[in-house]
Amino acid sequence: MSGMQRHPHEIESLAQDLLAGRLSLDAFVASVSQSGVAELGDVTLDLDRQRRCGFPEVVYGADKSADTLVRIVHQLLSDHMTVLVTRIDAQKAAVLQGEFPAGQYNTLGMTFRLAPAAAVEQPAVGRVVVVTAGTSDLPVAEEARETLAWMGVAVTSIHDVGVAGPHRLLRHLDKLRGADAVVVVAGLEGALPSVVGGHVDCPVIAVPTSVGYGASFGGLAALLGMLNSCAANVTVVNIDAGFKAGYVAGLIAHRRGVPKDAG
């Protein structure tokens, strides 16, 4: 018999809902014995990802209809999973907020975030700093910040400290030092991650943005500049990939927050 194995914390949460009367016996049995996927018509949702990877499936909303997104969110909530939907416009967000009033829509980052009603808020793990070169980079930075918040990581934001005025960054060095990871979002020539990398002892995750004039080639110039960084602690994600940078930084923060075995 093939099927997913529930994480003990998930089974405990389901059992508590069963004892409290929030979940029927049939729903409890169906939930703990499910196959690991949910067939939702045009979408096959991966319900086993949290057990395998530590976090539930994140929903890329750009090419999905509002109706499909509503069905996905209902399914995730019914399985006691926190929800993160990325790249949704205001119209889709309005539909989601009408269906799920407790959800949070970030208009800049174009993300929708929601926790199950019975979820117990946990203390934030670790600390990640999200830095932008300019205000035009804010949408990508906000996608990263919302991803980190969804992962339960403490986030500090530093904005508009690009290399055209390098003295602006120096005022924030105390916030950068001691971070588990730093996400640096920059367009144009993409030089800021290298500068930040020279000041910190943690991974720097560089995000090139499609901000800039013609010769920036929609972020390609920033991407190549970041890939050629001389700072050894800089690694790079794709153009405008705020979610990817936030997710990797969140994994680093969670790993550093787990006590190591003495042996």
pTM of the full structure: 0.83
Q: Looking at the structure, tell me whether residues 139 and 238 fall in a common domain.
A: yes
Rg of the chain, C-alpha, whole Å? 20
Structural domain total, the chain: 2
24-40 residue pLDDT tens: 887 777 666 655 776 66
CATH of the domain at 220: 3.40.50.1970
DSSP letter, residue 36: S
Give residue 80's pLDDT. 84
Q: Looking at the structure, tell me whether residues 153 and 239 fall in a common domain.
A: yes
- Residue 2 in domain: no
DSSP letter, residue 91: H
Q: List the chain pLDDT tens, one digit each, 263 residues.
A: 234 455 566 677 778 888 888 878 877 776 666 557 766 677 777 777 777 888 888 999 999 999 999 999 998 888 888 999 999 999 999 999 999 999 999 999 999 999 887 776 788 889 999 999 999 999 999 999 999 999 999 999 999 999 999 899 999 999 999 999 999 999 999 999 999 999 999 999 999 999 999 999 999 999 999 999 999 999 999 999 999 999 999 999 998 875 444 33
- Residue 119 in domain: no
Whole-angstrom Cα distance, residue 142 to residue 107? 9
Q: Are 34 and 4 in contact (CB under 8 A)?
A: yes
Q: Looking at the structure, tell me whether residues 194 and 75 fall in a common domain.
A: no
- Residue 49 in domain: yes
Give residue 262's pLDDT. 33
Nearest to 82 by CA among 35, 38, 122: 122
Q: Looking at the structure, tell me whether residues 61 and 155 fall in a common domain.
A: no
Q: Looking at the structure, tell me whether residues 186 and 149 fall in a common domain.
A: yes
Domain region containing 32: 8-114
Q: Looking at the structure, tell me whether residues 134 and 99 fall in a common domain.
A: no
Give residue 10's pLDDT. 66
